[in-house]
Structure 1
Amino acid sequence: MIDLLILMIERVGILLIVVFLLSRLRSFRQIINNEHGLKEKLLLIAVFGMFGIISNYTGIEIHSGVITSVGWQTEVDYDNAIANTRVLGVALGGMLGGPLVGLGCGLIAGVHRMTLGGYTAYACGFSTILAGLVTGMIGMHLRKKEKATPWRAVAIGLIMECFQMVIILAAARPFEAALELVKLISIPMIMINGFGMLLIMLIIQSILQEEERTRALQTHKALYIADQTLPFFRQGLNVRSCREVAEIILKGTNADAISITNEDQVLAHVGAGADHHIPLQSISTQLTKHVMEQGRILMASSRDEIQCDQRNCPLQAAIVLPLKVHGRTAGTLKLYFTDPSRMNRVEQELAEGLGKLFSTQLELADAELQSKLLKDAEIKALQAQVHPHFLFNAINTISVLCRTDPEKARELLLRLSVFFRSNLQGARQMLIPLHKELEHVEAYLSLEQARFPDKFTVKLDIDPSLEQVLIPPFTLQPLVENAIRHAFPKRAYKHGQVSIRAYRENDRMVLITEDNGKGIPVDLLGILGKQTVSSAEGTGTALHNIHMRIGEIYGGEADFRIESERDEGTKVIIMVPVHHNMEGEPYFEGVYSR
């Protein structure tokens, strides 16, 4: 028995060598790792059926309890039997591929065993076919519940080997010879097949784990590259952004050159071949043109397939991916290699993942641009609502002064022109300097004080260092207008005072417009600025518009608050960042002059 055990270990060693060599083949690893279609199942049947045939040929012949070891077992005498590891390959096939694979492997190995002969030929052949079918059903059940572990596979292999011994006893004749055979071979075969099952399952498990680690690394690398390129793809496909993106991808992959195109031109090319693949030139490779036309990934493994019009181009292989925006191919991403062997499966899968991520980024950038344009249009519409209140009153006042004080009338006409020029400039700009908004306020106050010379006074307290800070137009003027129109009742019980202050607090500018008027009712104070209201004195549209514009432009960097007490006055506090960049905003410092 010990001699048989040692010989069986040698036979298992042969299978382990075969499995190890197969595990180095990419095609075998893909079959093991992927979900199995019919093609993959047939390949599994062929592979593990071959294991069964090898086990039959390397079997150890036994005659009347005497062990005979030959190199290659091609025929077994009728009075003899063989001990082998046939069930090992069949059980593995069933565990990995399910009932169809198990049955297929069992038929190949079992029928082949029957052809070799011996008094156990049909018993062994039948038990092999049955073992393949049973292990396939058990394997399918375990995979569905995600419980297919190496130790469970070992247990199944041991049970199948025991089952084979039972069938030999039941079917092989003469019974006495079968009984002596089982006594001799049962323990070595059960032990060795279980041990071999464990080792091979561990090899297969390492294949699966290695594939998972590779995919995890690819995913991590793809997400890292996507994160680095996101700020640039948000700018769309242009020469500057694409060059930055290409350099990031070149550093993050094994490619020798990276190229990005739009529909017509090369926007960026970094790495090998940069001497003739020049930005803003027309697309020169036929491969890229085919990708643009077909909208699918294409690969080339030779210079002829790339079809570059430069004879000495060093680029020998390429992966070209379409960059799609809302289903339309807007450009291509190309990974070039100077050595075709470097364009392995890992690089291909990484490139495919990047292509999908970049297409998504471009779609998001396009959606973001559309959202920004819509938001800008909404802000412009809000700004246009702020100033239609007092035009006719101003004209009437000026017309009266034309008779009584022509010089004053002339001054007010100039102020009126400043007022409406500020309106026009504000309607075109998202942000203006604080001093321009103050000019707007002063023009308005001049016109109002001409109508009501004794109704109110205004005090300005502005930090000179903040006069160039950008704020939304129509921010202060509507607040001053609200104070004058609503804060002071018609029967003036005290002289109205309005103050405007601007000072710095850390990195923010604080703007406070305050009056000493009648205050705001408590039931309105909580909703003013957040929504329009319905009241006899007004709708709160100006406050709502200012609040909305500040929120749209600055987000969480700004603050808008209203504080008020009855008969004590109202204070509107606005806090905005001192430094704020509006992407795409046409304002530049120095455009406005005093």
Structure 2
Amino acid sequence: MAGLFETLLFCFPKTGEVFYNKRKGFQYGRVENKGGSFMATLLPVMLERAGILVIAAFLLSRLKTFRQIIHQEYGRKEKVVLIIVFGIFGIISNYTGIVIEHGKVSHAFGQGHLSVESAIANTRIMGVGIAGLLGGPVVGIGAGLLASIHRLSLGGYTDIACSLSTMIAGIIMGFIGRRFNVRGKYAALEAVAAGVLMEMLQMGIILAVAKPFEEAVALVRLIAVPMISINGFGTFIFILIIQTILLEEERTRAVQTHKALQIAQETLAHFRKGLNMQSCKEAAEIILKHTAADAVAITDREKVLAHAGVASDHHIPLESMSTKLTERVLLHGKIMVARTAKEIQCNHEGCPLQAAIVLPLFVREQVAGTLKLYFTSASQLSAVEQELAEGLSKLFSNQLELAEAELQRKLLKDAEIKALQAQVHPHFFFNAINTITCLVRTDADKARELLVQLAAFFRSNLQGAGKMLIPLEKELEHVKAYLAIEQARFPGWYHVHFDIDPLLHTAMVPPFTLQPLVENAVHHAFTQQFTKNPFIVVRARVKNGKFIMETEDNGKGISKEQVQSLGNVAVDSAEGTGTALWNIRKRIEEIYGHSAVFRIENRKTGGTKVAISIPLEEIWGGEYAEGICSG
């Protein structure tokens, strides 16, 4: 008897070649058809049966649980679901398999039991293999166990071999699945290669285990090429379906982000005026135009400020809230969704609104009002619309805080200091919006990350607007949020290093001190033609009883005339560098008097250093400052 690998090598049919069963004398490989025409008969039938599983896979891809599994968002419950689903795939493959008996193809559908002279050609390995790739070893083993037990129950002279190969395929593909990335560029080809290897392994196991050996050899000659081809093709289609799901979701997120930015940009001017009837009316109409909602309403804590769209006859501005749902959102400060008119609890009988999402609007971490999107049918309130509404709620809350900050700025006695603290840079904002809009099309995850940083930047502006001093760590958060957005606009242009003494994170410093210094370095220190390896260093340290904050760069430096004037007078220029430095110096002097020092100088090796020196007792108080110095 030839060795196993030699047998595998010569197991593909050759025209006109015949094998005989020594016990029964019937032929394999030719009988009525030659080997090639046998495969021509088997291939389309197997393709038809594989199509059943592909259709099932497509329907499966519409389920939320399956989509969570694709994103690897699953626990024990989801793993059990995946095992059952792909185990059923294996069972369906067994039932829809093509019976091979005496070298002939049986088109019978749903075989309950096989004779001892029969075998099945099917796509069982495909389902089990994909289960392992998506869910890892546990899912691969579980699905393989279900499919192999069922195959064993059907009988046939390859039952043990096929059951064993199914189990082994589930285990191997499960461990491959630990490293498999369905988002990878060549994921489909990698999956096909793994599936083909598992099918070849099955052929080898049939030769090694199935008896009699001559019949096993003849069977492998007949089914090897069709089964390997069809299982590989089916795996390829299945992975493409999954990749299509991922691509579809990424595009949806990109569209959502773009739409949210567009709405935010159009409503910015209105929400910056605060929650009043006119501004909310304009904003509600903009939101209604850009979303699938049938009505949009905005309220403060007591009354409806605007209602645009359906049901405007009884949802009237300046009247008290007509829905209990809104009252609950104002009370608990949480997003609430209603999918029936009963859940909305509108006081007006016959209200056409059947579904709603109500979102709280926050100002200074307190609920100041609500944004409500209404629908005349619950089916319109999709997950996409819900996610969009949640994003808008956060953006609008930030815009309302901008409005609150501007109002406070007008009321502050120390107008010069507070004007700097409350400043919002419109050019920076719109540049950031444009950057994020571009990223929406190419990198939706990066766009969402920058939205978070943009919100953090303006939140720092707002929090600093009402305070004379803030912790150093808050000022550093402001700097880092600014840098994240700027470096997204000009990636790789310069590097920033933070050298901060950990003991100083709680030191109280004037807001908007480090951030304008870093901004000056970013915009004015470097030229792409002449600066090699540009860097900015931000330091905070204690030296000689002083708390020192510094920014340092290796840029082009400044002239002697500028060193003398910058920080001492407000300089009007196209670059706008002088006013910010002058404001910082003035604030430092007015808060700490002459005990604090603001210094600008050129570095000997090129570039500029700006240092702010403050006595430690001004930061923490005398006793604590002595402890820091002695430590």
Q: Which residue matches 1:138?
A: 176
Q: Which amino acid aligns with 2:377?
A: D
Distance 1:184 1:356, change over 3 A: same
C-alpha RMSD over aligned residues = 3.1
Say if 2:329 is the partner of 1:288: no
Determine which of 242, 251, 255 is the counterpart of 2:293. Answer: 255
Any conservation in 1 of the 2:181–2:187 contact (CA below 8 Å)? no
Say if 2:111 is the partner of 1:73: yes
Say if 2:144 is the partner of 1:106: yes
Deviates more, 1:135-144 or 1:153-162: 135-144
Any conservation in 2 of the 1:64–1:177 contact (CA below 8 Å)? no
Q: Which residue matches 2:233?
A: 195
Any conservation in 1 of the 2:133–2:174 contact (CA below 8 Å)? yes
Q: Distance in 2 between matches of 1:316 and 1:80?
A: 59
Determine which of 92, 97, 100 is the counterpart of 1:59. Answer: 97
Q: Distance in 1 between matches of 2:388 and 2:400?
A: 18
Distance 1:84 1:526, change over 3 A: closer
Q: Distance in 2 between matches of 1:75 and 1:65?
A: 18
Say if 2:320 is the partner of 1:315: no
Offset of 1:131 from its aligned partner?
0.9
Q: Which amino acid aligns with 2:222?
A: L
Any conservation in 2 of the 1:531–1:544 contact (CA below 8 Å)? no
Offset of 1:346 from its aligned partner?
1.8
Distance 1:94 1:371, change over 3 A: farther
Offset of 1:339 from its aligned partner?
2.0
Matches within 5 A, 1:26-425: 28-33=66-71, 35-143=73-181, 146=184, 149-370=187-408, 373=411, 376-378=414-416
CA-to-aligned-CA distance 1:434-460 (integer Å, 9 cap, x gap): xxxxxxxxxxxxxxxxxxxxxxxxxxx
Q: Which amino acid aligns with 1:234?
A: R
Distance 1:162 1:375, change over 3 A: farther
Task: Please give the TM-score of this superposition, normalised by the length of structure 1.
Answer: 0.62
Offset of 1:146 from its aligned partner?
4.0
Q: Which amino acid aligns with 2:49?
A: R
Q: Distance in 1 between matches of 2:193 and 2:400?
A: 53
Determine which of 553, 568, 575 is the counterpart of 1:531. Answer: 568
Matches within 5 A, 1:467-486: none
Offset of 1:71 from its aligned partner?
1.3
Q: Distance in 2 between matches of 1:380 and 1:325?
A: 19
Q: Distance in 1 between matches of 2:236 and 2:97?
A: 20
Q: Distance in 2 between matches of 1:379 and 1:345?
A: 45
Q: Which residue matches 1:3?
A: 41
Distance 1:529 1:222, change over 3 A: closer
Offset of 1:88 from its aligned partner?
0.8
Offset of 1:528 from its aligned partner?
5.9
Offset of 1:122 from its aligned partner?
2.0
Q: Which amino acid aligns with 1:204?
A: I
Q: Distance in 1 between matches of 2:413 and 2:128?
A: 66
Matches within 5 A, 1:515-594: 527=564, 530-531=567-568
Offset of 1:75 from its aligned partner?
1.2
Q: Which amino acid aligns with 1:181?
A: L
Offset of 1:80 from its aligned partner?
1.8
CA-to-aligned-CA distance 1:466-519 (integer Å, 9 cap, x gap): xxxxxxxxxxxxxxxxxxxxxxxxxxxxxxxxxxxxxxxxxxxxxxxxxxxxxx
Distance 1:379 1:71, change over 3 A: closer
Q: Distance in 2 between matches of 1:368 and 1:381?
A: 9
Distance 1:34 1:251, change over 3 A: farther
SS across alignment from 1:229: helix
Distance 1:137 1:524, change over 3 A: closer
Q: Distance in 2 between matches of 1:544 and 1:185?
A: 82
Any conservation in 2 of the 1:139–1:148 contact (CA below 8 Å)? no
Any conservation in 2 of the 1:76–1:118 contact (CA below 8 Å)? yes
Task: Please give the TM-score of this superposition, normalised by the length of structure 2.
Answer: 0.59
Please tell me whether Structure 1 or Structure 2 has the larger radius of gyration of its CA atoms. 1
Q: Distance in 1 between matches of 2:180 and 2:241?
A: 19
SS across alignment from 1:81: strand
Identity percentage over the alignment?
Answer: 58
Any conservation in 2 of the 1:102–1:133 contact (CA below 8 Å)? yes
Q: Distance in 1 between matches of 2:145 and 2:243?
A: 26
Any conservation in 2 of the 1:103–1:133 contact (CA below 8 Å)? yes
List gaps (5 residues or longer) in structure 2: 1-38, 421-559, 570-577, 588-631
Q: Distance in 1 between matches of 2:418 and 2:222?
A: 95
Distance 1:179 1:308, change over 3 A: same
Distance 1:380 1:283, change over 3 A: closer
Q: Which residue matches 2:454?
A: none
SS across alignment from 2:110: coil
Q: Which amino acid aligns with 1:37?
A: G
Q: Distance in 2 between matches of 1:131 and 1:150?
A: 18
Offset of 1:65 from its aligned partner?
2.3
Any conservation in 2 of the 1:33–1:211 contact (CA below 8 Å)? no
Q: Distance in 1 between matches of 2:321 and 2:161?
A: 69
CA-to-aligned-CA distance 1:114-159 (integer Å, 9 cap, x gap): 1111222122112112212211221220229946611111111111
Offset of 1:308 from its aligned partner?
0.5
Any conservation in 2 of the 1:111–1:125 contact (CA below 8 Å)? yes
CA-to-aligned-CA distance 1:19-47 (integer Å, 9 cap, x gap): 23334455544543563333333322222
CA-to-aligned-CA distance 1:55-97 (integer Å, 9 cap, x gap): 0001111223232221111212233211100011111122222
Q: Which residue matches 1:436?
A: none
CA-to-aligned-CA distance 1:268-295 (integer Å, 9 cap, x gap): 1111111111122111211111112222
Offset of 1:251 from its aligned partner?
0.4
Offset of 1:317 from its aligned partner?
1.0
- The alignment covers a number of residue pairs equal to 402
List gaps (5 residues or longer) in structure 1: 383-522, 533-542, 553-594
Q: Which amino acid aligns with 1:35?
A: E
Deviates more, 1:215-224 or 1:130-139: 130-139
Any conservation in 1 of the 2:298–2:369 contact (CA below 8 Å)? yes
Any conservation in 2 of the 1:528–1:544 contact (CA below 8 Å)? no
Any conservation in 1 of the 2:300–2:370 contact (CA below 8 Å)? yes
Q: Distance in 2 between matches of 1:221 and 1:354?
A: 10
SS across alignment from 2:342: helix
Any conservation in 1 of the 2:68–2:74 contact (CA below 8 Å)? no
